[in-house]
Amino acid sequence: MYSSVFGGITTDPSAMVIPLDDHMVHRGHGVFDTAAIMDGYLYELDQHLDRFIRSATTAKIKLPFDRDSIRRILIQTVSASKCRKGSLRYWLSAGPGDFQLSSSGCHQSALYAIVIQNQSPPDYSGIRVVTSSIPIKPPQFAVMKSVNYLPNALSKMEAEENGAYAAIWLDFDGFIAEGPNMNVAFVTKEKELLMPEFDKILSGCTARRALVLAESLVREGILQNIRVDKVTVEEGKNAVEMMLIGSGVLIRSVVQWDEQVIGDGKEGPVSQALLKLILEDMKSGPASVRVPVPY
């Protein structure tokens, strides 16, 4: 773990703490992001870091260091952990200072980072989802990756209580939005990859990368087109394929939404092809998405 509060990296779990008067703890005034670690490389670190900084700006949290310094700290933290497969999660808070509502009493923002070893085997089998009854965040907060994840947690719990993997949010106009911590995409009967617009939801780095990688499936004739647009529930439930996309799940086929079986009820060929492309990209993609960690 790295903490700017104590000014360094520790590998002692008992020292991996944050102050209780940090406004991220008692007021939720903080942002975060995550980057996957694959075979000693950080996947899409720069893309996630750019989003992290955008979130911080929206949350009115000043960076404690410049971008290059933050990037270097994150890489050094992974290096110190010796983790070669897992994830790097990092937070920027308004900082410790007091227990007031405003962050005006915080002397400086705080940067934290932790490395999480991946100890469970991946599961890419088809899953079931339900429609969330938990209200979605307003766009101003949905597009920012803040630590205010109570709606997300309640949505995920609602899914689990109903024997499903995740719950799908609809926006305030009734269009399909996103999952609790992943994007959603569909393949239509016309072989079109369809993904909801990012204007009211989090701009998923993995989802955007999947859109780029999917262009090869168009060239191969597996897909006819790629479209980012408003998506109705009817379009989604009548699709031949549905999938969740995110840095945690990568690409996960959805075989049932509520009572509606998606396609033939099995993992779809486009979902499987996209998963293969993402995994290949993580292991041997260009330098723009793979940052080596000097162990």
In the set 82, 85, 145, 237, the catalytic residue is 145
- CATH 3.20.10.10 boundaries in the chain: 127-284
Mean pLDDT of 1-27: 97
Q: Please check whether residue 170 is in contact with residue 136, taking contact to mean a CB–CB distance below 8 angstroms.
A: yes
Say what the pLDDT of residue 29 is: 98
- Average pLDDT of the chain is 97
Q: What's the rounded Cα separation, in Å, for the pair 283 and 277?
A: 10
Tens of pLDDT, residues 159-194: 999 999 999 999 999 999 999 999 999 999 999 999
Say what the pLDDT of residue 286 is: 98
Say what the pLDDT of residue 82 is: 97
Say what the pLDDT of residue 179 is: 98
Read off the amino acid at residue 184: V
Q: Looking at 27-31, 117-121, 272-276, which range is the least confident one?
A: 117-121
Beta-strand (E) ranges in the chain? 2-3, 8-9, 30-38, 41-43, 85-93, 110-117, 127-131, 166-168, 183-187, 192-196, 225-229, 241-246, 250-257, 260-261, 290-292
Examine the residue annotation and report whether 137 is marked as an active-site residue of this protein: no
Mean pLDDT of 34-57: 98
Q: What CATH topology corresponds to 127-284?
A: D-amino Acid Aminotransferase; Chain A, domain 2 (3.20.10)
Q: What's the rounded Cα separation, in Å, for the pair 90 and 114?
A: 6
Mean pLDDT of 27-35: 98
- CATH 3.30.470.10 boundaries in the chain: 2-117
Say what the pLDDT of residue 121 is: 86
The pTM assigned to this predicted structure is 0.95
Pick the CATH number of 2-117 from 1.10.1270.20, 3.30.420.280, 3.10.20.340, 3.30.470.10: 3.30.470.10
First to last CA, the chain: 16
Residue 60, phi then psi, degrees to nearest 5? 60, 45
Say what the pLDDT of residue 169 is: 98
